[in-house]
Amino acid sequence: MTGAWRIGSVAIACGLLAGSITLRAAGAPGPQAPAPAVKPAAEAFSDDVHAKAGLTCESCHGPKKADGGYAAIARVAIAPLCARCHADAAYMRKFAPQVRVDQYAQYQTSVHGQQMAKGETRVATCNDCHQSHGIVPVRDTRSPVAPAHVAITCARCHADPARMAPFNRSPEIFNEWSKSVHADALLKRGDRSAPTCSTCHGSHGATPPGADSVANVCAQCHVREAELFKKSRKAEVFAALGQADCLVCHSNHHIAPPQASWIGLDDKALCATCHDESVAGAAVIKSVRKGFDEVLAAIASAGQVLDRAETAGMLVEDGKLALHTASEAHVRMRVLVHTFTAPPFDDVVKEGLAAAGEAQAVGDAAMDELQYRRRGLAVATLVILGFLATLYIKIRRLPKVA
């Protein structure tokens, strides 16, 4: 071939490559996750936080091309491009004095960042989560990385079997998390403090926490449980086994509401995974389970009688307060399970039973009072009936009028 042909064919190949990379960068989503609305870039940019800060298309894309369009940015170049400003503390201070500037540094430690550095472009970079042109602050409820949307954004890749297969990762995680108490709190109750993907995995430095750091992650909110667990015998046992602490019983993504039935030595119980009757702690396991069963039964029974009394028109505020105390004791019991010993747990069981007993007593007293009122009414009615009968006779015996 002549030189001109060679250059031409290379140019065409580059153009095709650039075109395909641009298409890839646009991030066609997988079949499972919802696709973000794709607006034309110029229109989307008008609502962008960068536009409001005075940036233009040229700021990121460079000068306009001869044909009026802008050059696409290669995927591996995106993060360094964003970092040009977002890692520059002096520059960012002009727009938001308190904003962090370590996102790129964190990204480079993450699995995504490390893969991207090796040239693997099928992992997330800045615009996959934050979008390219209509970028709004994280606080904005429209942002794909607002707390309620984070999981869905991650799921665009992580719930897509086709995208996960090359990396040998499970695409089921989003489904599992969606069934958890955390998803319930975040999405159904609107509790913005409930953990989503980034809470435990990090956002820019996204990496699954290692087995020895899981407990620290959960401890961000579940302080007491973590403290007690670390001081208990299980901590060293699990460390020796190389097991991630909380996960063994609670799982990592499908975190279900804990049940009393998890504790015990029967087939359905979690303890039975490792323990049987012969172990020294068998008695503790059984007594803890018994404590839960008794307190829950007492709370249920007291709750029932208080409901009945209230429906019958009795006001039972004292009883409800005692029941609230008993429920709190139950919560404390669930925390103290993590000591895996009898003493502090048993004391709270006693408190819970006492409070539930009080609530039951108030409910029973209310029902008794109801019976007393009805008996009192019966007596009063009898007296009135006696009076009416006598009065009737008197009226009948009145002298007849002409």
- Give me the residues that bind another protein (CB under 8 A), please: 191-194, 220-224, 313, 315, 317-318, 320-321, 324-325, 328, 331, 335, 373-374, 376-377, 379-381, 383-388, 390-395, 397-402
CA 112/CA 83 separation, integer angstroms: 15
Of 65 and 373, which CB lies nearer to another protein in the complex structure? Answer: 373
Q: What is the token pair recorded at 257?
A: 């509401």
Of 18 and 146, which CB lies nearer to another protein in the complex structure? Answer: 146
* Smallest separation, CB 321 to another protein (Å): 5
Q: Strands, DSSP E only, in 103-174?
A: none
* Smallest separation, CB 128 to another protein (Å): 29
Task: Give the Cβ contact number of residue 210 at 10 Å.
Answer: 10
Amino acid type, 359: A
Sequence-distant (6+) residues with CB within 8 A of 266 are: 272
CA 124/CA 25 separation, integer angstroms: 10
* Smallest separation, CB 311 to another protein (Å): 10
Of 157 and 228, which CB lies nearer to another protein in the complex structure? Answer: 228
Of 60 and 355, which CB lies nearer to another protein in the complex structure? Answer: 355
Per the CB < 8 A criterion, the answer to whether 344 and 336 are in contact is yes
* Smallest separation, CB 397 to another protein (Å): 6
- Which CB contacts under 8 angstroms, 24+ apart, belong to 210-219? 210/244, 211/242, 211/243, 211/244, 212/239, 212/244, 214/244, 214/245, 214/246, 214/247, 214/252, 215/244, 215/245, 215/246, 218/245, 218/246
* Smallest separation, CB 39 to another protein (Å): 33
Of 268 and 400, which CB lies nearer to another protein in the complex structure? Answer: 400
Residue 387 sits at φ, ψ, to 5 deg, of: -60, -45
Of 56 and 390, which CB lies nearer to another protein in the complex structure? Answer: 390
Of 20 and 390, which CB lies nearer to another protein in the complex structure? Answer: 390
Of 53 and 315, which CB lies nearer to another protein in the complex structure? Answer: 315
> To the nearest 10°, the Cα dihedral for 33, 148, 194, 125?
60
* Smallest separation, CB 194 to another protein (Å): 8
Of 240 and 401, which CB lies nearer to another protein in the complex structure? Answer: 401
Per the CB < 8 A criterion, the answer to whether 360 and 320 are in contact is no
Per the CB < 8 A criterion, the answer to whether 79 and 107 are in contact is yes
* Smallest separation, CB 381 to another protein (Å): 6
* Smallest separation, CB 400 to another protein (Å): 8
* Smallest separation, CB 267 to another protein (Å): 31
User: What's the burial of 184, exposed, middle or buried (CB within 10 Å: 0-12/13-18/19+)?
Assistant: middle
Q: What is the enclosing helix (H) or strand (E) of 366?
A: helix 343-396
